[in-house]
Amino acid sequence: MTQPIQKIIFGSPGTGKSHLIKSEIIPYELGIDEKANPENVIKAVFHPEYTYGDFIGKLLPITRAGQVEYNFYEGHFLKALAQAYKNMIIVHDKNGQ
């Protein structure tokens, strides 16, 4: 690959951005078979209210039976990082290294 594959696709809602990504970019430009490996495609929509916590992860309080608990919710980046790590382990195991 000689050129970066990052793209910014913008436009009004309902103009076919998601369709373009699913039908053209993922299968043909990236060479990913989303049906065979759906876990390798993580979709994120960036908008003005999208936060660092949405991207990386965040702690959110939840009240259960009068007690406050804090649960961690992973963001898109941590999901992608975890999946990349799993894929590395799979490749490592297949190669017997």
> In tens digits, what is the pLDDT along the chain, a chain of 97 residues?
567 667 788 888 899 998 998 899 888 888 888 888 888 888 887 788 889 999 999 999 999 999 999 999 999 999 999 999 998 998 888 887 6
Residue 15's pLDDT is 94
Residue 44's pLDDT is 81
Residues 6+ apart with CB under 8 A from 60: 70, 71, 73
How far does CA 71 lie from the centroid of its chain? Answer: 20
Contact 71, 62 (CB under 8 A): yes
Residue 55's pLDDT is 92
Residue 97's pLDDT is 64
**Residue ranges per structural domain of the chain:** 1-41, 49-97
Closest listed residue to residue 91, CA positions, set 35, 37, 34: 37
Residues 6+ apart with CB under 8 A from 32: 26, 40, 41
pTM of the predicted model as reported, rounded to 2 decimal places = 0.67
Contact 9, 21 (CB under 8 A): yes
Can you tell me whether residue 47 is helix, strand or coil?
coil
Residue 89's pLDDT is 92
